[in-house]
Homo-oligomer: A and B are copies of this chain.
């Protein structure tokens, strides 16, 4: 199936089980306090509008074992979507972002009528809550404990890797010189496993996959996962606020380390390099200056470099598809998914 269609179908099913789950959690929270119930509402609201790529991959990973994903698997698959919102909430606080998916970020919402520190505290606490809600969803599924524990193990190890990746990202941001290797190291640990390999493997262990299949999924997922982040960085620089749901210059102004900046600094002439250095991490840039950075990224060939590497990585991953499954329909979905990851516009 075409990836876009697959994601759309999945999102509908996922939203339905998520609504049910959050309604139940809200009842429990209400019994404690309206404050607790409010957290549940905000969390659910925060989840609206994502691509739900990772959840869909859990479903796909399960189907790769030749099984039809019923409601319990859909429920289990949404655990990673719930976790994803927790990661975004904490990320937004660390990046000091104001907008996410077109809404004020969690800490910005909570600070209304309170202090900024209260906003940050509540965003972190709500994120913490969400992480455990994610596991609550997984725990509550009617899946045999052995498979459930196996999926739990993968998800848990993955988030540990994400936490390391996040720390690297935070540290590198305050470094003077960051090289391609550093950028790809962050992409690998913060994004790649978590975005492609882990969800596919989670679905696969729920479906009782063989070791060989799990290994093949990793060989597919690792390069494709890095390509996902390269595309994210391209969109973060060249898309528009409406599509992104946040300012299209925030990566630049926050001084995010992306391949685009590393390559522009490597390939640019003296003047271009100087301007990139001036602009990267400068929160006071004018619209014109941001536009100038875009031009430099294009003119130096930095954008082409990123796109070329993304395509190369996706093609590398695709080679392993025949090792994952012999079923031509599933192969088609995996190929389409890999392409979607670097061709998507949001």
A interface residues (Cβ-Cβ under 8 A, vs B): 29, 32-33, 35-36, 39, 90, 93-94, 96, 114-115, 117-118, 120-122, 124-126, 128-129, 131-133, 135-136, 139, 144-146, 148-149, 152-153, 156-157, 159-161, 163-164, 166-168, 170-171, 174, 185, 189
Provide the residues of chain B in CB contact with A93, threshold 8 Å. 121, 124
B128 near A171 with CB under 8 A, answer no
Docked Cα-Cα span, A93 to B107, in Å, equals: 14
Nearest 8 pairs of A and B residues by beta carbon: A145-B145, A129-B163, A36-B164, A94-B121, A145-B149, A132-B160, A145-B146, A132-B159
Q: Are the CB atoms of A157 and B136 closer together than 8 Å?
A: yes
Residues from chain B with Cβ under 8 Å of A156 in the complex: 132, 135-136, 139
- In the complex formed, the residue of B with least CB distance to A29 is B164
C-alpha gap A32/B186 in the complex (Å): 10
Contact yes or no, B161 A32, CB < 8 A: yes
Which one of B132, B152, B168, B185 contacts A163 once the chains associate, using CB atoms below 8 Å? B132
Chain B, Cβ-Cβ closest to A160: B132
A90 touches B128 (CB 8 A): yes
Q: Which residue of B lies closest to A185 (CB)?
A: B33
9 A-B pairs with C-beta separation under 8 A: A32-B189, A96-B117, A124-B124, A125-B170, A131-B131, A139-B156, A145-B145, A148-B149, A152-B152
- Measured CA separation A115–B281 after assembly (Å): 15
Q: How far, in Å, is A55 (CB) from chain B's closest CB?
A: 19
A35-B171, A122-B170 known; A136-B148 Cβ under 8 A: no
Report yes or no: B160 in contact with A136, Cβ–Cβ below 8 A: yes
Shortest C-beta distance, A108 to chain B (Å), equals 15
Q: Which residues of B contact A90 (CB under 8 A)?
A: 124-125, 128
Q: How far is the CA of A146 from the CA of B171 in the complex (A)?
A: 40
**How far apart are A284's CB and chain B's nearest CB, in angstroms?**
17
- The interface residues of chain B lying within 8 Å CB-to-CB of A118 are 170, 174
Closest beta carbon of chain B to A105's beta carbon, Å: 14
Task: Kindly list 16 other residue pairs between chains A and B, CB separation below 8 angstroms, not including A90-B125, A94-B125, A118-B170.
Answer: A33-B164, A33-B168, A33-B185, A36-B164, A36-B168, A39-B164, A39-B167, A94-B121, A118-B174, A125-B166, A125-B170, A129-B167, A139-B149, A139-B152, A144-B145, A145-B146
- Give the residues in chain B near A32, CB-CB below 8 Å: 161, 164, 168, 185, 189
Complex Cα spacing A94 to B125, Å? 9
Q: When chains A and B are docked, how far (Å) is the Cα of A96 from the Cα of B124?
A: 14
Q: Would you call A125 and B163 a contact (CB within 8 A)?
A: yes
Cβ of A124: which chain B residues have Cβ within 8 Å of it?
90, 93-94, 124
Residues of B within 8 A of A129 (CB): 160, 163-164, 167
A15 to B293, CA, bound (A): 53
A207 shortest CB reach to chain B, Å: 17
Instruction: Give Cα A129–Cα B170 distance, bound, in whole angstroms.
Output: 14
Least distance between A250 CB and chain B CB atoms (Å): 16
Contacts A118-B174, A170-B122 given: A128-B163 contact, CB under 8 Å?
yes
Chain B residues with CB under 8 Å of A163's CB are 39, 125-126, 128-129, 132
Residue in A33, A39, A166 whose Cβ sees the most chain B Cβ within 10 Å: A33
